[in-house]
């Protein structure tokens, strides 16, 4: 293949992707004229590429000349989803966050009224024992990751959780009062990041942000745990951005802001 042919092939692929992106933005079928206008393609060029994509099942053409995403994309998406693993998807980003901060990074999932830690990178920098070892469990209301799930539950279920568990404390810093917990969860809701300030273990603090799947469901929390003397709240945006990248890798598409 010549250089010219190679450039032409790449250009066609880029145009295909542009057309798919526009179709993805619209819940309803899109006319050819609009697709051409939004991609900057000549209508005849857009029509030719769409015909090839229709033949392959990536696009469907309606009788009135409108286009929408095709079933082939759903088939491929289902295949990708079936091959994704939360732990496998998260570990590279966890290691990157660990390298940036030098601190332990944890991946926690919910199991009833507890958080279970399923993956961890260890800092090895301190003799302080961190409870977030793989397989360790802790109550939702004392952990940064658990607070993310309580926010997701909503006020009524948080009240039910408080009555059901009694909000037992693990340390003197643990939140054991419903009003105080609701106030803390309101901060989590507003900032999309949660803190554990020695609430699970004395001398250990955490920052956590949520990980969502392709349906927008909160499936895990990414947390950074440090000895209290090295705790830096300015790491919160870094933790949140890392969790967002993992979410996107799982297929999550954030809602568009107007």
Co-location of 102 and 28 in the same domain: no
The H or E element spanning position 197 is: strand 194-197
Co-location of 93 and 215 in the same domain: yes
In a domain, residue 4? The reply is no
- 208 phi and psi, to 5 degrees? -135, 150
In a domain, residue 29? The reply is yes
Q: Which residue range forms the structural domain that includes residue 46?
A: 11-69
Instruction: Please tell me the predicted confidence (pLDDT) of residue 9.
Output: 76
Based on its alpha-carbon atoms, the radius of gyration of the chain, rounded to whole angstroms, reads 24
Q: Give the pLDDT confidence of 135-165 residue by residue, as tens digits.
A: 788 999 999 999 999 999 999 999 999 999 9
Q: Which distant-in-sequence residues (6+ apart) come within 8 Å of 84 by Cβ?
A: 249, 250, 251
Q: Give the pLDDT confidence of 198-221 residue by residue, as tens digits.
A: 999 999 999 999 999 988 999 999
243 vs 12: CA distance, rounded Å = 34
53 vs 20: CA distance, rounded Å = 10
Q: Which of 50, 69, 88 is the last residue of a domain?
A: 69
User: N- to C-terminal Cα distance for the chain?
Assistant: 45
Could you write out the DSSP letters of every residue in 78-135?
A: HHHHHH--HHHHHHHHHHHHHHHH-SEEEEEEEETTEEEEEEEE---S-SPPPS--TT
In a domain, residue 41? The reply is yes
Instruction: Please tell me the predicted confidence (pLDDT) of residue 128.
Output: 44
Task: Quote the DSSP letter at residue 255.
Answer: P
In a domain, residue 256? The reply is no
- What total number of domains does the chain contain? 2
Instruction: Please tell me the predicted confidence (pLDDT) of residue 190.
Output: 96
Q: Where is average pLDDT lowest: 82-86, 101-105, 109-113, 220-224?
A: 82-86
Instruction: Please tell me the predicted confidence (pLDDT) of residue 158.
Output: 97
3 state SS of 31: strand
Co-location of 110 and 157 in the same domain: yes
Co-location of 92 and 207 in the same domain: yes
Lookup: tokens for 125: 């920098």
In a domain, residue 6? The reply is no
pLDDT over 60 at 129, yes or no: no
In a domain, residue 3? The reply is no
3 state SS of 64: coil
Q: Which of 45, 69, 93 is the last residue of a domain?
A: 69
In a domain, residue 140? The reply is yes
Q: Structure pTM? A: 0.68
Helix H segments across the chain?
3-25, 32-39, 43-56, 71-83, 86-101, 144-153, 155-165, 178-191, 236-249
70 vs 52: CA distance, rounded Å = 12
């Amino acid at each position: 293949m010549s250089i010219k042919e190679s450039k032409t092939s790449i250009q066609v692929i880029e145009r295909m992707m542009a057309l798919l992106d526009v179709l993805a933005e619209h819940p309803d079928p899109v006319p050819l004229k609009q697709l051409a206008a939004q991609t900057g393609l000549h209508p005849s060029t857009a029509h030719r590429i769409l015909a090839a994509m229709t033949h392959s099942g990536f696009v469907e053409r309606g009788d009135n000349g409108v286009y929408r995403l095709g079933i082939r994309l759903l088939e491929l998406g289902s295949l990708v989803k079936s091959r994704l693993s939360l732990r496998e998807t998260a570990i590279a980003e966890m290691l990157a966050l660990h390298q940036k901060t030098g601190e332990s990074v944890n991946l926690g999932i919910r199991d009833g009224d507890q958080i279970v830690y399923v993956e961890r990178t260890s800092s090895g920098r301190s003799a302080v024992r961190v409870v977030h070892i793989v397989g360790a469990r802790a109550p939702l209301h004392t952990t940064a990751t658990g607070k993310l799930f309580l926010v997701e539950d909503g006020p009524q279920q948080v009240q039910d959780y408080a009555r059901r568990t009694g909000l037992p404390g693990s340390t003197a810093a643990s939140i054991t009062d419903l009003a105080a917990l609701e106030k803390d969860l309101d901060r989590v809701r507003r900032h999309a990041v949660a803190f554990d300030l020695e609430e699970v273990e004395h001398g250990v603090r955490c920052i956590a942000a949520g990980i969502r799947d392709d349906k927008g469901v909160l499936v895990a929390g990414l947390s950074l745990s440090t000895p209290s003397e090295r705790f830096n709240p300015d790491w919160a945006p870094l933790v949140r951005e890392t969790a967002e990248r993992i979410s996107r890798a799982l297929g999550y598409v954030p809602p568009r802001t107007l």
